[in-house]
Structure 1
């Protein structure tokens, strides 16, 4: 069931689409914020100076190059078996991605992380006083 609060927060974002290399290739090269959704729940919020490159890096990178790649890997790891890059990309491919171009990607990400508390964001920013 759609969550009206999430719909409002993401109103300026693209429509959800499967998180594939094709979707990443269609993203603009401008700064922005991206969200990854697992069954409609935002599980990660990221920001970047180049949306296309960053979305591609999450899918094809490694645990050192992407916080999302690392966090999903830890989620998939089993005792005695570390999830491979292909396992991580496959899991992400079952998710959806949305993005928004913005001149203030860091501030937009912080605001979304504070409200949504996505499970794969390593640090939740402290509220500003």
Structure 2
């Protein structure tokens, strides 16, 4: 996929920012979709009813509270001993985050996952069949 397509899909998102607790604390408390980037590439897409809380939860939560935390931990576990919550937060802290407020964050997430196929999204949703208008 070219960078232009990637940029178009994320055109309405905030600029990329370091994924820190300070940046998460500045996110709005509204519904939205968020992306985590490693070296400029989207590695995770998520949606939530409260962006601020969810972004914090990814950084400070545990493997049971965050799919992203779980998936990053699983990958880090392959490199040596079981990764701690601090190891996972440190890895995420080397990434960037972007978000967009959205009234239909689940639909936005599904569309982005289908288009970008991020490595930390466990399941890629199946494309929905096109519906025909009634005759």
Relative to the length of structure 1, the TM-score reads 0.97
Which residue in 1 is equivalent to 2:51? 51
Q: Which structure has the larger Rg? A: 2
In 1, the alpha carbon distance for the partners of 2:87 and 2:57 equals 15
Which residue in 1 is equivalent to 2:15? 15
In structure 2, list runs of 5 or more residues that go unmatched. Answer: 130-135
User: Counterparts in 2 of 1:68-79, with a 5 A limit?
Assistant: 68-78=68-78
In 2, the alpha carbon distance for the partners of 1:79 and 1:20 equals 23
Relative to the length of structure 2, the TM-score reads 0.92
In 1, the alpha carbon distance for the partners of 2:47 and 2:22 equals 19
Residue 104 in structure 1 maps to residue 104 in structure 2 = yes
User: Counterparts in 2 of 1:1-129, with a 5 A limit?
Assistant: 3-78=3-78, 81-129=81-129
**1:4 Cα offset (Å):** 1.0
**1:78 Cα offset (Å):** 3.6
Residues 28-87 of structure 1: CA deviation (Å, up to 9, x unaligned)? 000000000000000000000000000000000000000000000011014761100000
Measured on the aligned residues, the alpha-carbon RMSD in Å equals 1.1
In structure 1, list runs of 5 or more residues that go unmatched. Answer: none
In 2, the alpha carbon distance for the partners of 1:41 and 1:80 equals 25
In 2, the alpha carbon distance for the partners of 1:123 and 1:7 equals 23
In 1, the alpha carbon distance for the partners of 2:33 and 2:75 equals 23
Number of residues of Structure 1 aligned to a counterpart in Structure 2: 128
What's the secondary structure of 2:89's corresponding residue?
A: helix
